[in-house]
Every structure is written in structure tokens, then in C-alpha cells.
């Protein structure tokens, strides 16, 4: 059209990757990473007798569509208060868990992952509906607001039929996945993302992040399997490996040690997926 000024503005880099796509990619990348001490990977089933790599792939295929649902729910309810979101999400979250259990024959592969990563998808959908740009801080703050008061509401109150997480809170005061989400994934944002670029090689970057998570994360899986001594053993072992120019062989030896002790850091595996998703977002 004649007369209009030509604007040579650099194209704004708008990622075409949706949050559900980032989440599913992270789930595949997590199960693919090998070796992973105590966890299921391409080499072995870690400290698990009831699941393997193939079952995890089936589980991811079954739950993947639900992350689009969580994202859409975040968009649809963007006009509702943050405090209402978890209640609005829970039915879909439980339906997603049922899809997982159906695909796995009743084995809990991703219960924690559904909760944590589903919240990220819903937070992203809400922010996008409000015209806000996605950033690590904005998404984590939104999740924290969704889960405000969750620990007090669900863990402090004694329930007759306590779940694993509820029982561990009553015994040890560990808030597990609920506490991590209510904090806005503080373990990831404080201990993992600042050093995300410390390793140039993608595989070593993920191994480093997992070791750092195992060194600090109060993983309720470890406590439910080995008590506080099991958690401390894994944290101490991870710190020892991190103090060296660690190699695959050391990760393999750690894997054998955790398997021998029936210890599986499933919570840290979930937070590794959370870290991959957040690392891909701009900081601010």
C-alpha cells in the first residue's frame, strides 16, 4: 500500500511450541536419559519391580492428551480467582491419573508428574488467555498461587485414609509434591536453573541437574521406601559424585547401590521434567 512507512523491526521470536508439547517432550527426554540412579531408564528398571521403560512410554502416550486439557482449563477459567484453579483442575487431574493406571495396569508411573506438569500447563494457559508473556517467574508464581494453602488444607489435617504423601507429612513433616508446587517449584528455580548451562552437552546437563536434585530434594519416594536414612543416603551419595569430575561409570555404580537398597528418587525424576520445561522459557 503506497505511502505506509516500511518498518524493518526484527521479528519478535514467538515460540510456536505450546506448553503441553514442552511437557510431553520433557517426559520422553526424562525416561530416555540413561543411566539414572534407582530410576527406570533404557538400561534397567532401577529399584522398581513393577515397571520398565516400555511401560513408561505407554504411560506417557496415555497421559499426553491430558496436558492439552489442563492448558485449556487454565485458559477457560482465566477470569476465575487463582485460588479456584486447583479445584477446577482436580477432576481432570484424577481422570488423567485413571488414564495412566489403565495404561499401566494399575502401576503409579507419573502421579507426581501429572500433578506438577499439569499445573504448569494450566498456569501457561491462564497467562496466555490474559495476554501475558510466558516466563519462568510468571509460570511458577501462578502455580504457587493456584496451590496457596494446599499443604495446610490437605496435609496438616489428619485424614483417615492417608495417602503416601499425607502419611509422610504426618510422620516427618515432608510436604512432597504439594509443598514443592506451593513454593512455585523453588527447589528447581533456586538449585537447578541457575546452573543449567554449566554443561554444554545436553546429556551431561540432564545428568548434572538430576544429581543436583537428588542432592537437595526432600523426595517422599525415598522416604516412603527407605525412611529418612534412605533419603540422607541418596543425598550424600549425590553430593559425593558431584564433588568429582563424575563419569557414566560413577552413575552406573550409584544406580547399582540404590537398586540394592530399593531406593528410587521418583520425585527428583519428576522435578527433572519440570526443570526441562522451565529452562526452555525466558527468565523474565
Ligand X SMILES: CC(C)(COP(=O)(O)OP(=O)(O)OC[C@H]1O[C@@H](n2cnc3c(N)ncnc32)[C@H](O[C@H]2O[C@H](COP(=O)(O)OP(=O)(O)OP(=O)(O)O)[C@@H](O)[C@H]2O)[C@@H]1O)[C@@H](O)C(=O)NCCC(=O)NCCS
Which range, of 28-36, 119-127, 180-188, 242-250, touches ligand ADE by CB under 6 A?
28-36
Residue 239 contacts residue 215 (beta carbons within 8 Å)? yes
Selected range binding ligand ADE among 36-44, 151-159, 160-168, 173-181, rule: CB under 6 A: 36-44
**Which phi and psi (to 5°) does residue 125 adopt?**
-60, -40
Residue carrying C-alpha cell 564433588:
243
Closest CA to 223 of 277, 155, 283, 169: 169
Residue 85 binds to ligand X (criterion: CB under 6 A): no
217 binds, among ligand X, ligand ADE, none (CB under 5 to 8 A by kind): ligand X
Which of ligand ADE, ligand X, none sits in contact with 165, Cβ below 5 to 8 A by type?
Answer: ligand X
Minimum distance, C-beta of residue 107 to ligand ADE, in the bound complex (Å): 10
Residue 104 binds to ligand X (criterion: CB under 6 A): no
Which of ligand X, ligand ADE, none binds 31 (CB below 5-8 Å, type-dependent)?
ligand ADE
185 contacts which partner out of ligand ADE, ligand X, none, CB within 5 to 8 A by kind?
Answer: none
- 95 grid coordinates: 481422570
Q: Could you tell which of ligand ADE, ligand X, none binds residue 40, using a CB distance below 5 to 8 A set by kind?
A: ligand ADE
266 part of the interface to ligand ADE, by CB under 6 A: yes
Task: Yes or no: say if 125 and 74 are a contact pair by the CB < 8 Å rule.
Answer: yes
Q: Which residues of 221-248 are buried (b: 16+ CB within 10 A; e: fewer)?
A: bbbbbbeeebbebbbebbeebeeeebee
162 burial (CB, 10 Å; 0-12 / 13-18 / 19+) is middle
Residue 1 CB, shortest distance to ligand ADE, in Å, is 55
Q: Which residues are CB-contacts of 26 (< 8 A; sequence separation ≥ 6)?
A: 117, 273, 274, 276, 277
Kindly tell me which residue out of 46, 74, 118, 125 binds ligand X, with binding defined by CB under 6 A.
118
Task: Centre a 10 Å sphere on the Cβ of residue 157 and count the other Cβ atoms it contains.
Answer: 8
Using the 8-state DSSP alphabet, how is residue 11 labeled? Answer: P
SS (HEC) of 197-236: HHCCCHHHHHHHHHHHHHHHCCCHHHHHHHHHHHHHHHHH
Find the binder of ligand X among 24, 27, 33, 115 (CB under 6 A): 115
71 binds ligand X (CB under 6 A): no
Written as nine digits, the cell of 80 is 476465575
Which does residue 90 bind out of ligand ADE, ligand X, none, counting CB within 5 to 8 angstroms by kind?
ligand X
Using CB under 6 A as the binding rule, the residues of this chain from 171 to 210 that contact ligand X are: 176-178, 180
Quick check: 119 binds ligand X (CB under 6 A)? yes
Residue 268: CB minimum distance to ligand ADE, A = 9
Q: Which residues bind ligand ADE (CB under 6 A)?
A: 30-31, 36, 39-40, 46, 48, 113, 264, 266, 269-270
Q: Which residues bind ligand X (CB under 6 A)?
A: 48, 70, 89-90, 93-94, 97, 108, 110-116, 118-119, 163-166, 176-178, 180, 217-221, 264, 266-267, 270-271
Amino acid at each position: 500500500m503506497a505511502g505506509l512507512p516500511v518498518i524493518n523491526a526484527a521479528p519478535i521470536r514467538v515460540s510456536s511450541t505450546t506448553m503441553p508439547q514442552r511437557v510431553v517432550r520433557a517426559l520422553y527426554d526424562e525416561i530416555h536419559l540413561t543411566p539414572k540412579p534407582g530410576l527406570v531408564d533404557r538400561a534397567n528398571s532401577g529399584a522398581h519391580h513393577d515397571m520398565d521403560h516400555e511401560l513408561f512410554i505407554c504411560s506417557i502416550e496415555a497421559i499426553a492428551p491430558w496436558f492439552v486439557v489442563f492448558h485449556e482449563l487454565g485458559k477457560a477459567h482465566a477470569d476465575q480467582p487463582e485460588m479456584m484453579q486447583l479445584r477446577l483442575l482436580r477432576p481432570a487431574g484424577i481422570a488423567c491419573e485413571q488414564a495412566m493406571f489403565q495404561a499401566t495396569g494399575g502401576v503409579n508411573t507419573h502421579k507426581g508428574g501429572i500433578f506438577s506438569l499439569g499445573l504448569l500447563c494450566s498456569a501457561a494457559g491462564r497467562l496466555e488467555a490474559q495476554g501475558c508473556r510466558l516466563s519462568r517467574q510468571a509460570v511458577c508464581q501462578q502455580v504457587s498461587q493456584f496451590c496457596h494453602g494446599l499443604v495446610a488444607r490437605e496435609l496438616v489435617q489428619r485424614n483417615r485414609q492417608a495417602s503416601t504423601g499425607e502419611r509422610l507429612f504426618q510422620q516427618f513433616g515432608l510436604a512432597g509434591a504439594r509443598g514443592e508446587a506451593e513454593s512455585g517449584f523453588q527447589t528447581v528455580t533456586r538449585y537447578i536453573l541457575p546452573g543449567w548451562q554449566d554443561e554444554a552437552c545436553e546429556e551431561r546437563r540432564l545428568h548434572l541437574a538430576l544429581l543436583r536434585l537428588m542432592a537437595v530434594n526432600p523426595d517422599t519416594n525415598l522416604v516412603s521406601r527407605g525412611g529418612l536414612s534412605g533419603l540422607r543416603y541418596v543425598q550424600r551419595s549425590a553430593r559425593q559424585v558431584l564433588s568429582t569430575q563424575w563419569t557414566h561409570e560413577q552413575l552406573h555404580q550409584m544406580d547399582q547401590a540404590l537398586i540394592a537398597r530399593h531406593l528410587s528418587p521418583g520425585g527428583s525424576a519428576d522435578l527433572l521434567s519440570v526443570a526441562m520445561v522451565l529452562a526452555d522459557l525466558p527468565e523474565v
